[in-house]
Chains A and B, each alone.
Chain A
């Protein structure tokens, strides 16, 4: 195995190809373009397929076709492109087609700017398109995880027949770190439901239309059951120094990296602070959150949006412990000092409230 310095965005392509991806349909957008560029290079050189679509709308529909045809297929984009893909994502969910989509988040709404935000959380985690559906959402926070989570996403997508979204951000995508390139390739297998243009698959139908409300209802119940099932099988998170913590910073992606430094700095100064980092955002590690809340810990949810994941934390905590919101918007990434300052201030308040005051 060798370690290669590369951007998170390039690492995605290394993960994809070793995860058995064969078809990449791309469209350029900052700060995700390196994924399409690396895709164009490595998919083409390795005899896989890279095609630049005319739009994100076309890209996600090419994926619908390629996935329906049984291939392991992907695209990568950023916020404005994700908005354009909303319809396609809903169709993929309705037809239960596996797909992998990388969202390297930038600031919005609208054209916004190209600096990091995490404000696609609701669109990605709660659905984004129309109808009752979910995507599996994983949140890498290093170049290595951009590689590994993308690699694993293809098997995950195939086994649940769902879209897996790699929810990244401008910093995690643009940052270079050493990456251990996987040494094996995990290939997809023939799917009984897919279209191969042969006798065996002739009777297959890829569709999301069920005109009969009873049938549509049954289909939706089946999907919801699937989404409930994966809560126990797919949920992933990590904790750092939470055991004796009074306050648990809760963060994903780039904010979890900043949080790690904050926790280390504050621990040196004797503050009891820890970190909870969800690695899957759907399914969300609600049980882990709940257990920490039951152990009397307060939460400070640090995210580059207006408190989207904080809503999920609050839902899991259900009022038994304070949930504070640390939010920065517009592409502003706070310094370690700024975040640490808020934590220290809030730890003081929490201590005061335990003595009888209010947070």
Chain B
């Protein structure tokens, strides 16, 4: 039964137009007032007034917060489902209502409504479709009918130019995740009663945690349709309803025993897989327990910290450039070196080349080790260049400072360094790595030679770093062996 008293979910007076007003700002015959009342009554019936957070859109219903005595948030045009997502992710017990018109939801806000629906946000969306932009004075909406005259379609909507009216319930129905999708109409008293039921159901499902509900309400706009309220109901029934058929598109919850949750439409296997692949599979699928402070700090500290050593003194800053093909361990080699620097309590920076163009192409890392605070992290003029391939040597040979050191991966680079004012070591790093059974460790070979040759940092530090840095634990031992193999090579070939 329709009640004719004011629901508690409404304020006693509406301050929109003036003090102590009992009328809304809506035009005579507008559908918003009816829908507002049905929602307010449902809120009363379900006893959820304190829990409701009502999202009002941009459009005629922007002022819904003047009427609903609930929590209220006013959203930018079309974004209410995103805002509602934010609210929902913070408060699990809130009852989140998104109230949107056709320009808002079916025009500017299509991305937000589609994705909120597809995520199965546990919210209830009331989509008021009156086939026109009301607040701005009667322009074409995405749901405006073919031939319908508006301020921006003075000769009528033309499907060749404007496309055809968009059926949002049908669009939402193409998604698997929503639990309830129904289109209702205010064209008749019977339609209003069905609307009341749909509104209540949409809210009930949310309260029960079932998921995303979408209720499209065909609603009259007599002023912008330029007709009186009675005629507007008739026009609605005769013109809108044939294009936007009144129907329940989906009600996944009617067979309640079959429905577990909001994710009802997901394949069970898909859900199981998602839970199993989460790092701590729990009954609380996808959401792990809120960590206390100590646990959080420990998580953020990650790897077991190395013992901090007395700072070694470098005679000069080490400005190292490691360059080669993407995939030669250039960036990770730089990381290993930077970690050696940190272990020695040195100031350290590592700057990569980055982004899509480096994949498979040229990659380089700049590493600086210093006893002082480091300004620029960019190594323009290295005093150590590790050239893993020919293009790297070509690119950076001339940048090396006089007296600097160039390590050349002679397995790949066939030419010699042309400069005579630098020190050069030709190290067949790729071959040493390959012979050691770990092709990817050419970078470790080069670092071992650099550290051992210069004595800047004990090569032992590299050994300390590797266990905590190498991601695939089965390679840790092989990397450590690679260092010994390299040192043997060095002693055989460079110590004379």
Contacts and interface: CB of A to CB of B under 8 A. Distances in A.
B355 A68 contact: no
Interface stretch (B173-181, B188-196, B218-226, B299-307): B299-307
A206 B91 contact: no
Contacts of B86: 23, 25, 61-69, 73
B279 A181 contact: no
Interface stretch (A196-204, A306-314, A351-359): A196-204
Interface in B75-133: 75-76, 79, 82-91, 93-95, 111-112, 114-115
Interface size class on chain A is: 35 or more
B288 A46 contact: yes
Interface in B315-343: 335, 338-339, 342
Contacts of B49: 202
Nearest to B372: A264
Interface stretch (B66-74, B406-414, B441-449, B453-461): B66-74
Contacts of B73: 65, 68, 195, 205-207
Interface in B374-388: 374-378, 380-381
A175 B377 contact: yes
Nearest to B289: A47
A35 B89 CA distance: 20
A42 B335 CA distance: 21
Interface stretch (B34-42, B50-58, B254-262): B50-58
- Judged by DSSP, the binding face of B is mixed
A196 B93 CA distance: 9
A91 interface: yes
B71 A71 contact: no
Interface string A195-239: 111110111111111000000000000000000000000000000
A62 B83 contact: yes
Contacts, number: 232
A207 B72 contact: yes
Residue from B74, B87, B300 whose CB has the most chain A CB atoms within 10 Å: B300
B65 interface: yes
A47 B288 contact: yes
Contact of A181 (B95, B293, B300): B300
Nearest to B288: A47
A261 interface: yes
A30 B350 contact: no
A61 B115 contact: no
A58 interface: yes
Interface in A43-68: 44-49, 51, 53-55, 57-59, 61-68
A69 B299 contact: no
B361 to A, nearest CB: 14
Contact of B90 (A71, A199, A203): A71
B296 interface: yes
A14 interface: yes
Contacts of A264: 375
A19 to B, nearest CB: 11
Interface string B223-234: 000000000000
A4 B301 contact: yes
Contacts of A258: 375-376, 378
29 contacts: A4-B302, A5-B338, A5-B339, A46-B296, A58-B79, A58-B115, A61-B79, A61-B82, A61-B86, A62-B83, A64-B82, A65-B85, A73-B86, A171-B377, A171-B378, A175-B350, A175-B351, A178-B342, A183-B297, A195-B71, A196-B94, A198-B50, A198-B51, A205-B74, A206-B73, A209-B62, A258-B375, A261-B376, A262-B375
Interface of A: 2-5, 14, 17-18, 22-23, 25, 30-31, 42, 44-49, 51, 53-55, 57-59, 61-71, 73, 87-88, 91, 95, 114, 170-171, 174-178, 181-185, 195-199, 201-209, 257-264, 333, 335-337
Given A198-B51, A199-B50, 14 more contacts: A25-B86, A47-B287, A61-B112, A64-B83, A70-B90, A170-B354, A174-B352, A175-B349, A202-B50, A257-B377, A259-B375, A335-B378, A336-B378, A336-B380
